[in-house]
Amino acid sequence: MSVLAELQAALGALVDIGEETLELAREDRSGHAAAGRPLAVVHAETVEHVQQTLRIATATRTPVVVRGAGTGLAGAANAGDGEIVLSTLRMTAVKEIRPDDLLAVVEPGILNADLNDILREHGLWWAPDPASRTISTVGGNIATGAGGLLCAKYGVVRDAVLGVDLVLADGRLLCLGHRSVKGVTGLDLTSLVIGSEGTLGVVVGATLKLRRLIVGTTCTAIASFPGVGAAAAASAAVTAAGIQPAIMELMDAASLAAVHRHLRLSEPAAGTAQLTIQTDGPAAVAEAEAVAAILRALGGEISVSEDPEEGERLLAIRRAMHPAMAALGTTLIEDVSVPRSAMPAMFDEIARIETTYGLSIPTVAHAGDGNLHPNFIFEGAEVPERIWAAADALFRAAIALGGTLTGEHGIGVLKQRWLADELGEDQWELQRQITRVFDPLGILNPGKVFPADA
């Protein structure tokens, strides 16, 4: 019996071999597509469906690619020839909400924004806030170790997950982590799974650490600067002053102009870079005033609003970055992070790379935590070698400044060639060996993060 026949016998209508479904499973939002088409997409609805799929995959040594909403930006969920796609998008249940313990137990397919809509009724929220929150799943957020606009103050996914339920390649179910605030029994396998991009197992459930909704005013400040270097220096000054805004986003001149055109807003003055800063909680007004004083002293033109609706309108400009870039052409959205004090130097490096390679690289940054998203725009489906050469220079510059290849998008397919440069050969090999402990046959997401033939 073929692998497809075994899947269909065990899972019936959950096994999808439709042309459009298989084609969609080849790519994510990175612009990269896998070679060929997968064997089938299994639309798992229960933990048992996931286990059945993986048992068949192990018995037949068939590679499996786990997939949520397909919104990733590193090619980690793209499936090609002979691979089974295991979709958790139908696993959307919120199994438990405990306001007294500030936790929720959820399935991986629920969208980030949908979860927070539900939690809001209980006076709670889950803090990770990726720009893709309305279209990305909690399981995908966990798989990539997602961040977002709020993470400088409220942390990334790793700070907001107490435990995960993980199905191994052979179908065994592990319940990792704990429900208590503290827990140091044994190795921290939960943190190991977060950001592992589907190479260790399939997340089928998560115990999430919640926060109570913020009480108090929200203040949103917009500050314009005559160049991105001045804006980056100003954001570093805010951090150095000990102020911790909920959001501090930076848009360089090219990205700001592109978004204004996309949203049909008035054109900003040539060369203008912009900081969008939001403070929240009981001290929001005082913090906004302190931020405004720092920014004005450094040459910023600033306006502050306490109107929540106006604040959302201003943040919508930053959140429109991805569609604005997509309107310009095919986009390779990069994701380097550096120490916050090195932000001005990293923007200097981006300017140098633009000159060297004759490119415009519109860049936005989560300035509160030093995570930059340079955008390489080109025509066609394949990334030109000149773009990869510029990206290579970008990655090496970030690492030289004490930074990293990726702050929140992950390695996937697109960055694996640089992984050993950051980790060093010994750590690279150790990490590869760890994946084989979880997945001895190497069937989970082969070719992602580490080369398939490693």
Digit-coded pLDDT (tens) for 413-430: 999 999 999 999 999 999
Query: Residue 246 pLDDT more than 90?
Result: yes
Q: Quick check: 368 and 241 in contact, CB under 8 A?
A: no
pLDDT at residue 454, rounded to an integer:
47
Mean pLDDT, rounded, for 288-309: 96
Would residue 210 be called left, alpha or beta, if left means φ above 0 and alpha means ψ between -120 and 50 degrees?
beta
Number of other CB atoms surrounding residue 214 within 10 Å: 14
Q: Quick check: 174 and 165 in contact, CB under 8 A?
A: yes
Query: Residue 360 pLDDT more than 90?
Result: yes
Q: Quick check: 95 and 205 in contact, CB under 8 A?
A: yes
Number of other CB atoms surrounding residue 59 within 10 Å: 12
Query: CA separation (Å) from 298 to 241, 370, 430?
Result: 13, 19, 46
Query: Residue 286 pLDDT more than 60?
Result: yes
Split at pLDDT 50, 70, 90, the class of 452 is confident
Split at pLDDT 50, 70, 90, the class of 386 is very high
Sequence-separated (6 or more) residues with CB below 8 Å from residue 442: 435, 436, 452
pLDDT at residue 169, rounded to an integer:
98
Query: Residue 382 pLDDT more than 90?
Result: no
3-state secondary structure of 281: coil
3-state secondary structure of 106: strand
Sequence-separated (6 or more) residues with CB below 8 Å from residue 336: 346, 371, 372, 374, 394, 395, 398, 403, 404, 405, 406, 407
Q: How far apart are CA 74 and CA 409, in angstroms?
A: 6
Q: What is the mean pLDDT of the chain?
A: 95
pLDDT at residue 31, rounded to an integer:
82
Is the torsion defined by CA of 172, 430, 396, 366 positive or negative? Answer: positive
Query: Residue 131 pLDDT more than 90?
Result: no
Q: Quick check: 292 and 278 in contact, CB under 8 A?
A: no
Query: Residue 337 pLDDT more than 70?
Result: yes
Q: How far apart are CA 344 and CA 248, in angstroms?
A: 15
Give the global pTM: 0.94
In the chain, the percentage of residues whose pLDDT exceeds 70 is: 100
Q: 152: part of which helix (H) or strand (E)?
A: helix 151-154
Which structural domains are found in the chain, ordered by start? 3-87 (3.30.43.10), 94-212 (3.30.465.10), 219-400 (3.40.462.10)
Q: Which has more pLDDT, 107 or 380?
A: 107
Split at pLDDT 50, 70, 90, the class of 453 is low
Mean pLDDT, rounded, for 212-240: 95
Q: Quick check: 309 and 303 in contact, CB under 8 A?
A: no
